[in-house]
Amino acid sequence: MNDFIEYKGSKLYYYKQGTGRKSILVFHGFGQDHSAFASWIEKLKDEYTLISFDLFFHGSSVWVAPDAVDKEDWGNIMETLIYKEKLEDIELAGFSMGGKFAFATLEMFPAKVRRMILIAPDGIKINFWYRLATYPIAMRALFESVVASPKLFFSLARSLEAIGVINKYLLRFVVLQMDTPQKRHQVYCTWIQFRLLRFDMRFIAELINKEKIDLKVIVGKHDKVIPATDMHRLLKYVPSAHLEVIDGGHNNLIDKAAEFL
């Protein structure tokens, strides 16, 4: 079943699957949509009702407000969902970019969260290039010009790879995410409009520890986009957390993670 939540003229689409009494909200990564977690359905459908989303600028969801999405916005949207679907205790799962939305949901409703599964989550460490491109207003304008005319960007990226500033795997990932005008526009919108979703890992850990939330973090041994070493920024504050390092890169982690649910 698919439905949507309307908020300030914007729409967040979500999809319910499964018949279980437990509820798990899952948030996909960049360039994906709600179907990214299809491999989880067969495994969880009897025990869980799985609610997956098309995050803004992906799938059928749209964000039309001139301001960036902030935690209050997201909290209001999730509050509507919780009331509409009569959710009590919930579990959260987020992959890559979706990790930000898992963290934002946790911050807004810590007492409702019983378990978190983070798969190579974004939001633990702010990438230098992301910070540079989105926070200073002048750099946002430059970033927009790069999206419109990317030749200089690709040339710079290859130069940085040549001198060892970024590795070839990350370069390949970046090129794949920005090789069409549509993808570049999507990158620009998500980077700029999600820039206010920033998190203090000490505070996140305090919430997890206080509410005794079961935390599992799954990362890929060969992931060069969000490496396992970044997870230390959160895990060092949550002694009860479980880290699973699996044989994989970045893009195939959701399906591989299904084996460890």
| β-pair type (90-95, 22-27) | parallel
pLDDT above 70 covers what percent of the chain?
80
> How many Cβ atoms sit within 10 Å of the Cβ of residue 180?
10
SS3 of 86-155: the string is: CCCCEEEEEECCHHHHHHHHHHHCHHHEEEEEEECCCCCCCCHHHHHHHCCHHHHHHHHHHHHCCHHHHH
Tell me how many helices (H) and strands (E) the chain has. 11, 8
Mean pLDDT of 152-160: 67
- Classified as helix, coil or strand, 195 is coil
Q: What are phi and psi of 145, to 5 degrees?
A: -70, -35
Mean residue pLDDT of the chain comes to 87
Q: Which of 194, 233, 219, 207 is nearest to 97 (CA)?
A: 194
- Mind listing the pLDDT tens digit for each residue in 58-69? 999 999 988 999
* pLDDT greater than 50 at residue 91: yes
Q: What letter does residue 62 receive in the DSSP assignment?
A: B
Q: Which of 180, 117, 173 is nearest to 150 (CA)?
A: 180
Residue 147: the pLDDT is 64
26/36 Cα distance (integer angstroms): 9
Residue 192: the pLDDT is 82
211/213 Cα distance (integer angstroms): 5
- Mind listing the pLDDT tens digit for each residue in 172-210? 666 666 667 777 778 878 888 898 999 999 999 999 999
Q: Which residue has the higher pLDDT, 151 or 117?
A: 117
- Mind listing the pLDDT tens digit for each residue in 36-75? 999 999 899 999 999 999 999 999 999 998 899 999 999 9
Mean pLDDT of 147-176: 65
Cβ 49 vs Cβ 22: under 8 Å: yes
Q: Where in the chain is the domain with CATH 3.40.50.1820?
A: 2-125+198-260
Q: What is the rounded radius of gyration, in angstroms, for the C-alpha atoms of the chain?
A: 18
Residue 190: the pLDDT is 86
pLDDT confidence band for 241 (50 / 70 / 90): very high
CATH architecture of 2-125+198-260: 3-Layer(aba) Sandwich (3.40)
* pLDDT greater than 50 at residue 111: yes
* pLDDT greater than 60 at residue 128: no
Q: Which residue has the higher pLDDT, 137 or 79?
A: 79
* pLDDT greater than 80 at residue 233: yes
pLDDT confidence band for 132 (50 / 70 / 90): very low
Mean pLDDT of 104-111: 98
pLDDT confidence band for 133 (50 / 70 / 90): very low
Residue 32: the pLDDT is 94
Q: Which residue has the higher pLDDT, 157 or 186?
A: 186
Q: Which of 162, 160, 191 is nearest to 178 (CA)?
A: 191
